[in-house]
A and B are shown apart, each in its own frame.
Chain A
Amino acid sequence: MEYKSLKEIEMGKNLFNKVWDLHKVTALSESRDQLFIGLHLVHEVTSPQAFAALRERNLSVKYPDRTLATVDHIVPTQKQLFRPYKDDLAEKMLVAIEDNTKDFGIQFFGLDSDSQGIVHIIGPENGATQPGMTIACGDSHTSTHGAFGALAFGIGTSQVRDVLATQTLAFERLKVRKINVTGERGNRVAAKDIILRIISELGVMGGIGYAYEFAGPVIDSLSMEERMTICNMSIEGGARAGYVNPDQVTFDYLEGKPFAPKGTAFEKAVEYWRSIASDPDAEFDDIYELDITGMGPMVTWGITPGQSVEMGRNLPRVEDLGDNDQEITRKAYEHMGFKEGQPLEGEKIDVAFIGSCTNGRISDFRAAADVVKGKKVAPHVKALAVPGSRKVKLQAEAEGLDAIFKEAGFEWREAGCSMCLAMNPDKLIGRQLSASSSNRNFIGRQGSAHGRTLLMSPAMVAAAAVEGAVTDVRTF
């Protein structure tokens, strides 16, 4: 009788499980592991209570060298350096992160740093985010960093406390769903359109319990910044983490970045980074196939990121939907004021916002500038272009993009989260309709309880700004 060795019988491993196993400290219970976190990103909103908990127990930060902080949510995008801020609460939070990072010895990209910016932009652009790492941050869009082939999780404040004090998390291993994206990508179809399509197909809770591995020829052909947009919105599909296997695109992006290894160390790093990619015969808990041939730009019309429509198609009729979707669809129509079966094209907008951790990178501003160049923003539209970081801002200015936006009638702002979530002065007013490159169209998300958000790609926002209404950028 012939016996096969265990290795022969076992299927290959996926990236998620490889990286998990490398970072597993111990099993805490049958279903929960203690997981080492290789990079802890910290910002001002979800950390003050965590630092307070450390002080209360007289604990220090376990590995300050694996921790990096910035300030992004509450900073104004105008007169950013004028202190103290008019908003006492924002000023208090800024002082707290300044004091906490100083007291606990954590590197801080604060207002006096050229590297300040949105936490999910500064990690990658400085090369702090690397393949094969575990990354945590008190922010759900931490999934962004998965674009590098890292396991990146959004966590709550109690867990921020845990990571500060122990550099570990008590965590359950996720299942892994491979999303294989194939087909021909159409003209002006952006990464944003692909992820909005995925969320509309799998639903806003389709990813609960899963990490998404984004794979296939379409994903392979994307730039790092496009991959970040896709992974960023994994959480909008319910998946706490999303990732792309690292490849030459990843390595080329990282080479020369300030935190990336140099010289022979870089070569060794590439070896490690290649080794953690999913094996060709890797096993998955689920596989989903998506062919994007013929797909056009996607725009959300409702109050969840799953409620989107492809340009050229009409909004859904409640009666055509399954029982599960009817209640939230009715609520969406009630809030948005649209009619069942209408097209979204031609719907007049009040605000155009380009920015956020989803689409606030240099390629996003290039794509938008390409659309607005030589044109004017419609007179009734307030248009904001908000770089995701100071580095993005400087790069855009070096390329003359700021001039294109300003000449068109956009306001060119300083780096921060801005109107994505309204913890700063950039907010919608009343029932304003916003064309936004951000990630959430939840009721009240952009700062007005009655405000309405249409999520779309930066190029689509730019076209809407000029047209003054939702318009298909392909025929613009």
Chain B
Amino acid sequence: MTDNPAIIRKVEGRGVPVKGNDIDTDRIIPARYLRCVTFEGLGAEVFKDERYNDDGSKKDHAFNDANYDGAAILIVNRNFGCGSSREHAPQALMRFGIKAIVGESFAEIFAGNCTSIGIPVFTADESVITDIQGMVEKQPDLELSLDVDGEILSISDRQIQLTINSSAKTALLKGTWNTLDELLLNNDQIDQVYNRLAYVSQFS
């Protein structure tokens, strides 16, 4: 039996810490890069104004640090992805190479957008996150492994318990994070709701 390629049980790779609370989606992808009709190419613009000065020279930012080149697991702090609902933010991170995010907490729309494109989002307490960020900073070539079902991060010889939203977990493990197929199945029930809502027929 071949496995559904959409099933995500594990994410492996090196980590990259982006520190700070309340990092909003305007900072992740400035609005000027939303002037597009596809998500292609957004990876190059991720954290643009945080990474580059006006003259194009590089700022001190983890995404500019060669030590973290090729990292797949982003480690962040509190309320990451707040603000605008733009899916361009997780799309840009994904196209940069990020496959999973671990943080203290996430804005709801951002976390939902991540799940809907197959990026698992895990949370843990502040002290745990600070600890993980410290380990990755000290040894950027450490290989991290995230187990979606067990909600566990394996790093060096440690197993760290994380948390993931239960419906996100189900969707990742069942390979139904792309929700469209599941929603299309219930066409008749959708019609029933449409037909029973008085406002649809203008209360006539």
A81 within 8 A of partner (CB): no
Interface residues of A in 37-54 (CB under 8 A from B): 38, 45-46, 48-49, 52-53
* Contact indicator B35/A32 (Cβ below 8 Å): no
Stretch at the interface among A181-189, A262-270, A365-373: A262-270
- B203-A36 in contact (CB<8A): no
Q: Is A327 an interface residue (CB 8 A)?
A: yes
The answer to whether the Cβ of B140 comes within 8 Å of any Cβ in the partner chain is no
Known: A155-B109, A442-B27. A36 touches B180 (CB 8 A): no
* Residues in A whose Cβ lies below 8 Å from that of B39: 49
Q: Does B22 contact A (CB under 8 A)?
A: yes
Give the distance to chain B from A322, nearest Cβ to Cβ, in Å: 12
Question: How far apart are B118's CB and chain A's nearest CB, in angstroms?
Answer: 10
Q: A167-B190, A304-B22, A421-B31 are contacts. A272–B198 as well, Cβ < 8 Å? A: yes
Total number of residue pairs linking A and B with CB closer than 8 Å = 213
**A208 close to B180 (CB less than 8 A):** no
* CB pair A208 B167 closer than 8 Å: no
Set B34, B79, B167, B179: member contacting A45, Cβ < 8 A: B34
Q: State whether A52 and B26 are in contact (beta carbons under 8 Å apart), knowing that A162-B180, A327-B21, A449-B54 are contacts in the complex.
A: no
Residue of B nearest to A450 (CB): B54
A434 to B72, CA, bound (A): 38
A142 (CB) vs chain B CBs: closest residue: B85
- Chain B window 121-148, contacts with chain A (Cβ cutoff 8 Å), 1 for yes, 0 for no: 0000000000000000000000000000
Given known A-B contacts A36-B193, A93-B35, A158 and B26 have beta carbons under 8 A apart = no
CB-based contact A170/B183 at 8 Å: yes
Contact status B186-A140, CB under 8 Å: no
B-binding segment of A84-92, A104-112, A221-229, A313-321: A84-92
Q: Determine if B79 and A268 form an interchain contact, defined as CB atoms under 8 angstroms apart.
A: no
Contact with B along A68-94 (1 / 0, CB 8 A): 000001100000000000010110110
**B183 near A444 (CB under 8 angstroms)?**
no
B156 in the interface (beta carbon within 8 A): no
Tell me if A172 is interfacial: C-beta within 8 Å of chain B. Answer: yes
User: Given the complex, which residues of B lie within 8 Å of A272, measured CB to CB?
Assistant: 198-199, 203
- Of A30, A132, A159, which is within 8 A of B166 by CB? A30
Interfacial chain B residues near A331, Cβ < 8 Å: 20
Q: Taking the complex as formed, is B1 at the interface, i.e. its CB lies under 8 A from any CB of chain A?
A: no
Nearest chain A CB to B165 CB, angstrom units: 8
Given that A31-B166, A272-B203, A444-B49 are contacting pairs, would A204 and B182 also be in contact in the complex, using a CB cutoff of 8 Å?
no
Chain B proximity of A234: nearest CB distance (Å): 11
Pick from A29, A48, A57, A168: contact of B183, CB below 8 A: A168
Cβ-defined contact, A26 with B186, below 8 A: yes
Interface string of B88-119 (1 = CB under 8 A from A): 10100000000000000101110011001100
B66 interface residue (CB < 8 Å to A): no
Contacts of A74 in B (CB 8 A): 35
Contact B32 A447 (CB under 8 A): yes
B184 in contact with A166 (CB, 8 Å): yes
Provide the A8-26 mask, 1 if CB < 8 A to any CB of B, else 0.
0000000000000011111
Instruction: Report yes or no: A238 in contact with B194, Cβ–Cβ below 8 A.
Output: no
The answer on a CB contact under 8 Å between A139 and B203 is no
Q: CA separation between A437 and B184, bound complex, in Å? A: 41
* Distance between Cα atoms of A347 and B39 in the complex (Å): 40
Chain A residues 284-315 with CB under 8 Å of chain B are 303-304
CB distance from B167 to the nearest CB of A (A): 4
Contact with A261, one of B54, B197, B202 (Cβ below 8 angstroms): B202
Contact A156–B37 (Cβ < 8 Å) = no
Question: Which one of A22, A87, A158 lies within 8 Å of B35 (CB-CB)?
Answer: A87
- A218 on the interface (CB 8 Å rule)? no
In the A-B complex, the 8 residue pairs with the smallest Cβ-Cβ separation, listed nearest first, are A156-B87, A156-B113, A89-B35, A48-B37, A449-B49, A140-B85, A158-B116, A157-B87
Can you list 27 A-B contacts with CB-CB less than 8 angstroms, sorted by A residue number? A34-B190, A38-B199, A46-B86, A48-B37, A57-B180, A62-B190, A90-B35, A93-B36, A140-B84, A142-B85, A155-B85, A158-B87, A158-B180, A159-B112, A162-B183, A166-B180, A166-B183, A167-B190, A169-B183, A170-B179, A261-B199, A269-B198, A327-B20, A327-B21, A440-B26, A442-B83, A445-B31
- Not counting A38-B200, A235-B83, A269-B198, a sample of 18 additional A-B residue pairs whose C-beta atoms are within 8 angstroms of each other reads A23-B193, A25-B193, A32-B171, A38-B197, A48-B37, A49-B87, A74-B35, A156-B85, A156-B86, A156-B90, A168-B183, A170-B182, A172-B165, A204-B82, A240-B109, A269-B199, A423-B34, A447-B32
